[in-house]
Amino acid sequence: MGLVSYLVFFLIVVTIFGILTLGLNLQWGSTGVFNAGVVGFYAIGGYAFAILTAPARPELIGNLGLPWVVGIIGALAVSAVVAIFVGLATIKLRGDYLAIATFGIAVTIQLIALNWEGLTGGSLGLTSIPRPLSGIFTTPLSYNLFYLALTAGFCLLVYWALERVSRSPWGRALKAIREDEGAAIALGKNATSLRLQAFVLGSAVMGLSGALYVSFIGFISPFDFLPIITFQVWTMLIVGGSGNNKGALLGTLIVWGLWSASGTLISKIVPATYQTQGGAIQAILIGLVLVLTLLFRPRGLIGEEPVVSRHVT
């Protein structure tokens, strides 16, 4: 029973991260946008949700106590709006430059969350964020099963939507930009605008993921949104296969599974006095997995599947 319960929890985290990875796959896999600030949009979605739905406190501007659905929609909207600004600011950048810029933006977002106490609670964070339908499912297991259904539902919805998008004319135009921008522009595609659209949509998806995470834990703090998460999500995408939505989800499962399992393994095998070193060993293991994957299987486990219009038989 306990095993089931833990697995349910594990899968909730996997589906939440899965949505995050899907958003990244839209940006990178489909469009070639190198977004190294994933955690920033994850944070914005989370904070937007928290500020909209948490119960009011005298020292905070936000905490409007609105319903859960409003929180989710708010998270999507705010992430999209911020992404528009970020996208416009970084519009001319390519590759590594874009990566550094987006990384910096994520750092700035985290710093704002850390310091704007009146809105975000600063380093103390925001608590008592309501969880949906917590009155109906009272035992931990039943609630977690419900929440898993919720996040898995969202995950599948996002997956389905993104699959349809990538097979649509819009999706094919995105791929065209990624493969050969010059040719696409010559054919009359507005590359800049398309790239921006993909960026915004992908970021909105990331914001959704953040909202779902915060809604589950019931608490948010700036320390939930450190750069290591960006690294984890990218690893998930690479290992599973960038450019492929199935790959994104598979990669999430494997990488989070490895991260979790290696933590368990080390805590069991390594004697207590060496636990600190155990953490270092875990990090080295993850690093090695990443490097070896890239050396021997750079397209990830699944690799990109050729996408052809569904009108072609």
Site for other proteins in 8-37 (CB under 8 A): 9-10, 13, 28, 34
Of 65, 69, 133, 223, the one binding other proteins (CB under 8 A) is: 223
> Residue 309 Cβ, how far from other proteins at the closest point, in Å?
25
Determine, following the binding rule CB under 8 A, whether residue 142 of this chain makes contact with other proteins.
Answer: no
* Site residues (CB under 8 A) for other proteins, limited to 48-87: none
Task: Let me know: does 54 contact 128? Beta carbons within 8 Å.
Answer: yes
Q: Which of residues 117-136 bind other proteins (CB under 8 A)?
A: 117, 122-125, 127-128
Nearer to other proteins, 79 or 215 (CB): 215
Q: Which stretch binds other proteins (CB under 8 A): 61-69, 72-80, 153-161, 232-240?
A: 232-240
CB nearer other proteins, residue 77 or residue 84: 84
- Per CB under 8 A, the segment of 19-27, 46-54, 164-172, 236-244 that binds other proteins is 236-244
Asked if 292 and 276 touch (Cβ cutoff 8 Å), the reply is: no
Minimal distance, residue 243 CB to other proteins, in Å: 11
Of 170 and 219, nearer to other proteins (C-beta) is 219
71 with 94: CB under 8 angstroms?
no
47, 182 Cβ separation under 8 angstroms: no
Shortest gap between Cβ of 85 and other proteins (angstroms)? 11
Output phi, psi for 117, to 5 deg.
-60, -35
Residue 187 to residue 172: CA distance in whole angstroms: 13
Report how far residue 183's alpha carbon sits from residue 87's, in angstroms, rounded to the nearest whole number. Answer: 22
What are the Cα distances from residue 84, in Å, to 23, 28, 201, 202, 272? 15, 17, 10, 11, 49
* Residue appearing with tokens 């990443």: 290
**How deeply is 24 buried, as exposed, middle or buried, from its count of CB atoms within 10 A (0-12, 13-18, 19+)?**
buried
Among 56, 61, 69, 111, binds other proteins (CB under 8 A): 111
Least CB distance from residue 226 to other proteins, whole Å?
A: 7
Return the residue of 73, 163, 219, 307 that touches other proteins, per CB under 8 A: 219
* One residue of 56, 67, 69, 96 binding other proteins per CB under 8 A: 96
From 235, 244, 245, 252, residue interacting with other proteins (rule: CB under 8 A): 235
Helix/strand/coil for 180: coil
Q: C-beta of 280: minimal distance to other proteins in Å?
A: 4
Q: Is 25 helix (H, G, I), strand (E, B) or coil?
A: helix
Nearest to 249 by CA among 92, 23, 46: 23
Q: Are the beta carbons of 209 and 118 closer than 8 angstroms? A: no
Could you give the count of Cα atoms lying within 13 Å of 108 in the half-sphere of its Cβ? 9
Separation CA 196–CA 93 (nearest Å):
12
Q: Binder to other proteins among 56, 61, 149, 288 (CB under 8 A)? A: 288
State the nearest-atom distance from the C-beta of 45 to other proteins, in Å.
15
Q: Which is nearer to other proteins, 81 or 93 (CB)?
A: 93
Q: State which of positions 154-213 bind other proteins (CB under 8 A).
A: 182
